[in-house]
């Protein structure tokens, strides 16, 4: 039979040189190209194993200075897997079984070597296969480790959950982005973390997933610290009861979108509010002029008619004319008040502080609510700033009398680094956070918008006594405004 010449390096553990040569010779005759070394002590075998790589070990059973068992111990100590074949005189079945148990691949009698070559061939082939399997499985292990490493350190959340939503595995990002430890998560269900929607909504999504095998949606989750986070979630079914899920933290993007939507809604509400307010203002002016001016002027007309008829009686006429003058004065005051409410001339002529003083005085007299003023000498702002602060004051004081149930209010105006600050503080019942953030409190939005339009800020704060404090900050406006910026506004 044609056999490809195969190179093998054989370690022969044998005290009898002739036996060793004979065995090597058998291998060569079978077509192997053999290199070999004979050893007969533990030291010699150790040095052989340390210095060379071997394909096959042939060993005698017992030698004057060495035994096969001692040789086997060394073989294992070096972690070898090459074929180890024992060739010896008769040793009895019990010892032969012991040898096989100790890891010997086969056992042959020296005086019956007919199976020798076929045993060597079989064992070399098996060793070769084992070697290949070994390298395959360590390659597989390495690649599995690599993927586990990727998933564990991925920036996004990766987890596997069962059909009830319980976590089976989850990576590091899952812990970081939810705030829970792996152990805590393993005791929870994905559903425990999801915020948006009712229980039915969550179950419906889950049912959809079970039906279609995949799900792609945004979820709002509750972080352990109580804050909410948005995740774009992508789920794929792995088996009947396992789901693989990738989740990306999109909180920043989502909040930006929600903020833009909220701002847009506020702007729309404000627009509508401003239009309504203008109409209401016109109606109020019309009514005031009708009721106040109309009645006064009618009375003047009646009295003037009387004067016309009784002009002969000079004493009576004198009294009447005095009354007419009184009423006319009254009317003039009313006209002044109405027009000042609409557009306080004081603001343009004498500045913000004087206008605040006048308005607060009016407010105190009209409502009986004490108004304490602290007006520091602030640099005079431009027309837009003065008007914005004055309108904010008007709305704030109107709210105080309509909603606060306050007995006093403090108004403070002062210069702070970079701008002017106006604080209006009442000792009433306070505004709820819900009203402040609802987007429907158009008076409050209007105040904030007035400040925002001139690059300022306005905040509603609850005082320690429970009342409301409105803090407005307006940065100094650039000098020499353009004619357009300086145009009158209201």
Q: Is 13 in the site for ligand ATP (CB under 6 A)?
A: no
Q: Is 37 in the site for ligand ATP (CB under 6 A)?
A: no
Please check whether residue 237 is in contact with residue 209, taking contact to mean a CB–CB distance below 8 angstroms: yes
120: left (phi over 0), alpha (psi -120 to 50) or beta: alpha
Window of 200-208, 217-225, 250-258, 441-449 that interacts with ligand ATP by CB under 6 A: 441-449
Residue 49 CA: distances (Å) to CA of 62, 76, 391? 20, 11, 98
List, in sequence order, every beta strand (DSSP E) within 207-336: 214-222, 228-239, 242-249
Among 179, 351, 443, 475, binds Mg ion (CB under 5 A): 443
The Cα–Cα gap between 288 and 285 comes to 5
Residue 428 CA: distances (Å) to CA of 228, 463, 467? 33, 10, 5
Q: What's the closest the beta carbon of residue 436 comes to ligand ATP, in angstroms?
A: 7
Q: Is 402 in the site for ligand ATP (CB under 6 A)?
A: yes
Q: What's the closest the beta carbon of residue 470 comes to Mg ion, in angstroms?
A: 12
Nearest residue to the partner ligand ATP, using Cβ: 443
Q: What is the DSSP string of 205-239?
A: HHHHHHHHSEEEEEEEEE-TTS-EEEEEEEEEEEE
The Cα–Cα gap between 196 and 205 comes to 11
Q: Is 443 in the site for ligand ATP (CB under 6 A)?
A: yes
The Cα–Cα gap between 330 and 325 comes to 9
List, in sequence order, every beta strand (DSSP E) within 432-488: 457-462, 468-475
Q: Is 441 in the site for ligand ATP (CB under 6 A)?
A: yes
Please check whether residue 302 is in contact with residue 261, taking contact to mean a CB–CB distance below 8 angstroms: no
Q: Is 439 in the site for ligand ATP (CB under 6 A)?
A: no
Residue 14 or 266: the one with the smaller Cβ distance to Mg ion is 266
By three-state DSSP, how is residue 421 classified? Answer: strand
Residue 245 or 397: the one with the smaller Cβ distance to ligand ATP is 397
Among 400, 411, 413, 421, binds ligand ATP (CB under 6 A): 400
Q: Residue 235 touches which of ligand ATP, Mg ion, none (CB < 5 to 8 A by kind)?
A: none
Q: Is 442 in the site for ligand ATP (CB under 6 A)?
A: yes
Q: Residue 456 touches which of ligand ATP, Mg ion, none (CB < 5 to 8 A by kind)?
A: none
Pair of tokens at residue 16: 């009898």
CA 417, chain centre distance (Å): 35
Q: Residue 11 touches which of Mg ion, ligand ATP, none (CB < 5 to 8 A by kind)?
A: none
Query: Per-residue string for binding with ligand ATP, 185-224, x by CB under 6 A?
Result: ----------------------------------------
Please check whether residue 417 is in contact with residue 392, taking contact to mean a CB–CB distance below 8 angstroms: no
Say which residues have a Cβ less than 8 Å from residue 391's Cβ, sequence separation at least 6: 447, 450
Q: What's the closest the beta carbon of residue 298 comes to ligand ATP, in angstroms?
A: 32
Size of site (CB under 6 A) for ligand ATP: 16
Q: Is 431 in the site for ligand ATP (CB under 6 A)?
A: yes
The Cα–Cα gap between 369 and 298 comes to 34
Among 178, 399, 468, 472, binds Mg ion (CB under 5 A): 399
Q: What's the closest the beta carbon of residue 438 comes to ligand ATP, in angstroms?
A: 8
Q: Is 430 in the site for ligand ATP (CB under 6 A)?
A: yes
Q: What's the closest the beta carbon of residue 399 comes to Mg ion, in angstroms?
A: 4
Window of 94-102, 196-204, 242-250, 400-408 that interacts with ligand ATP by CB under 6 A: 400-408
**Which stretches of the chain bind Mg ion, using CB under 5 A?**
399, 443
Site residues (vs ligand ATP, CB under 6 A): 399-400, 402-404, 426, 428-431, 435, 441-444, 468
């Amino acid at each position: 039979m044609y056999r490809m010449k195969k190179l093998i390096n054989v370690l022969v553990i044998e005290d009898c040189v002739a036996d060793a040569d004979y065995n090597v010779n058998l291998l060569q005759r079978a077509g192997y190209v053999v290199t070999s070394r004979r050893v007969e002590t533990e030291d010699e075998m150790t040095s052989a194993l340390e210095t060379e790589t071997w394909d096959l070990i042939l060993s005698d059973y017992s030698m004057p200075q060495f035994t096969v068992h001692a040789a086997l111990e060394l073989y294992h100590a070096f972690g070898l897997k090459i074929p180890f074949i024992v060739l010896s005189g008769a040793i009895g079945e019990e010892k032969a079984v012991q040898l096989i148990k100790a890891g010997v691949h086969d056992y042959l009698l020296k005086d019956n070597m007919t199976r020798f070559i076929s045993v060597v061939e079989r064992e070399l082939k098996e060793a070769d296969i084992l070697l290949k399997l070994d390298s395959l499985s360590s390659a597989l292990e390495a690649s599995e480790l690599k993927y586990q490493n990727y998933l564990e350190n991925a920036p996004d959340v990766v987890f596997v959950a069962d059909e009830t939503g319980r976590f089976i595995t989850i990576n590091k990002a899952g812990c970081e982005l939810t705030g829970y430890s792996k152990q805590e998560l393993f005791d929870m269900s994905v559903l425990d973390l999801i915020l948006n929607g009712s229980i039915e909504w969550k179950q419906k999504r889950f049912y959809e997933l079970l039906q279609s095998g995949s799900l792609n949606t945004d979820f709002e989750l509750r972080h352990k610290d109580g804050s909410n986070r948005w995740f774009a979630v992508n789920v794929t079914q792995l088996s009947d009861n396992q789901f693989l899920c990738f989740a990306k933290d999109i909180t920043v993007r989502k909040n930006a979108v929600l903020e833009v939507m909220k701002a847009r809604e506020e702007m729309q509400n404000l627009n509508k509010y401003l239009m309504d307010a203008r109409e209401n203002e016109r109606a109020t002016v019309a009514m005031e002029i009708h009721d106040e001016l109309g009645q006064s002027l009618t009375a003047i007309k009646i009295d003037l008619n009387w004067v016309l008829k009784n002009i002969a009686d000079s004493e009576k006429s004198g009294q009447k004319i005095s009354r007419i003058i009184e009423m006319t004065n009254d009317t003039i005051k009313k006209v002044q008040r109405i027009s000042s409410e609409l557009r306080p001339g004081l603001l343009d002529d004498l500045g913000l502080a004087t206008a605040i003083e006048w308005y607060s005085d009016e407010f105190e007299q009209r409502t009986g609510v004490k108004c304490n003023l602290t007006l520091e000498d602030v640099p005079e702002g431009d027309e837009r700033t003065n008007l914005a602060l004055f309108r904010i004051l008007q709305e704030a004081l109107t709210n105080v009398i309509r909603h606060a149930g306050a007995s006093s209010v403090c108004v403070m105006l002062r210069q702070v680094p970079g701008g002017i600050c106006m604080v209006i503080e009442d000792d009433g019942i306070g505004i709820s956070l819900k009203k402040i953030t609802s987007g429907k409190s158009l008076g409050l939005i209007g105040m904030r918008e007035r400040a925002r339009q001139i690059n300022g800020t306005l905040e509603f704060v609850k005082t320690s006594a429970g009342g409301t404090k409105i803090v407005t900050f307006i940065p100094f406006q650039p000098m020499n405004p353009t004619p357009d910026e300086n145009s009158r506004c209201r």
